[in-house]
Amino acid sequence: MELPKIKILDEFDKTLRKVSKEVKFPLSKEDKKLIQDIIDYLTMSQIEEYYEKYNLRPGMGLAFIQLGIPKNIFVIVEEIDDEEFKNYVIINPKIISHSEELIYVGEGEGCLSINRDVEGIVPRYARMTIEYQDISGKKQTIRVREDISVAFQHEIDHLHGILFIDKIDKKDPFKNKDKMREI
């Protein structure tokens, strides 16, 4: 496999603060190719042979805005078994409902646009239902939970110009930790 040539913006690029725009269908050839490139990149970033060869940080999600393209598209590649992956291509997502229960990632959230360790917890919903369009423009509904729910919220935030570091309390990075469940 060859590493796709994509450039991920870092946190200091003001483009990441833009609100992404609704996507019209049909998708362009360029958008379809970029979706496949993102799937390949994220998959390779989670396979030791490739992340060592190309010096990649493992990542499971990437929004188009992180590549400088303000379109409501994100991709998540979840490793469900050893080097076996499930891909989510989410276009024009809308949160339909969410749980009251809040969770947070114990070792902290990470982001391919933030090249440093960040202390603190990011409150996330334990479960959500999302309405979105698939690659052909067909409306879909998906229910996500736990780590995939966190990943979806992280990427949806990107589409609204929000980084996970914005959700960490600056004065008390572990605020309300006792009111949430660690995953």
Residues known to be catalytic = 155
Tokens representing 91 are 């276009």
Alpha-carbon distance of 162 to 114, in angstroms, equals 12
Alpha-carbon distance of 148 to 61, in angstroms, equals 10
Using CB atoms within 10 Å of the CB of residue 179, give its burial: 0 to 12 exposed, 13 to 18 middle, 19+ buried: exposed
Phi, psi (deg, nearest 5) at residue 159:
-65, -20
Alpha-carbon distance of 91 to 107, in angstroms, equals 29
Three-state secondary structure string covering 55-97: CCCCCCEEEHHHHCCCECEEEEEEEEECCEEEEEEEEEEEEEE
